Amino acid sequence: MDGLVPPPAPVAAAPRPRPAWYRATRVALSLAPLVAVHLALAAAPFVSPTWWTLGILFVLTRVTGLGISVGFHRYFAHHSFKVSRPVQFLLAVAGCTALQKGPLWWVAHHRLHHRHSDTPADPHSPVAHGFWYAHCGWLFAQDLMHPDHGPLRDLTKFPELVWLDRLWMVPGLLTAAACYALDGWAGVVLGYCGSTVLVFQVTFAVNSFGHTFGRQRFATGDGSRNNWALGVLALGDGWHNNHHKAPGSARHGFAWYEIDQSFLAIRLLRRVGLAWDVREPPAALLGKGGA
């Protein structure tokens, strides 16, 4: 056998491309929660709200909104503060209740947005792709359904986050079931679906309005703006030009009048010992608060 050249190893066949109907079905299932919660509001005239309904609406807009702003955005996407692994998982669950897909999907697109802000490679730029595409049309693009997780090794090393990213609908469905148990269909339609739609639309508005309307305090090379209405509604994420100037900062409101509810929540976590190494912008940027 000496001197004989071994036969070449068999070449693995390239995976067959999925048929168009399969890809379309995957897209439809992925977008079903987004569409369903909006359509569910058509049932609002047929349910009777109670004080429980208003309480659920108020609490969930905070839980899901902070899950996106504090959890998905400031913690997972930018690592602007540190928490323990159990708290990290709870932040991911809170973000998933907003039905904006899983933490890996959300972070992959947001980091791409910062890397290529307002260029054709930005997944949701109103400057490059138009206002309505940036607001919500980009969610229907098939090539954005499955982003590359290669650059997310800081997150994929946690198996519980990978698992949650695959089952991202579960926290939302369980929350909707809890709303039904507390307040019947009013709790589901007005409490859960109502709060989820509000958080959806505010998040969409940061992508569209936040790069179109408002003031630019800093020259960041893109269209990011500070918008006072979004600053309040998006729990501080509407101070978007500030954020693009210092993306790693846990604080987005640089001036005393720029209300940043998410940063207040992070400070509360730090005060009770659940967060530490909270990153803030350089003092020189805070000094430009009146500009």
Distance of CA 63 to the CA centre of its chain: 13
Q: 160-197 in b/e burial notation, b at 16+ Cβ within 10 A?
A: ebbebbeebbebbeebbebbbebbbbbbbbbbbbbbbb
What is the pLDDT at residue 4?
56
Which residue positions in the chain have pLDDT lower than 50? Answer: 1, 12, 14, 290-291
Cβ-contact 138, 31 below 8 angstroms: no
CA separation for the pair 156, 81 (Å, rounded): 18
Residue 1: predicted pLDDT: 47
pTM of the model: 0.89
| 45-77 confidence digits (pLDDT tens) | 999 999 999 999 999 999 999 999 999 999 999
pLDDT in tens, 4-56: 555 665 554 545 666 666 666 666 677 888 899 999 999 999 999 999 999 99
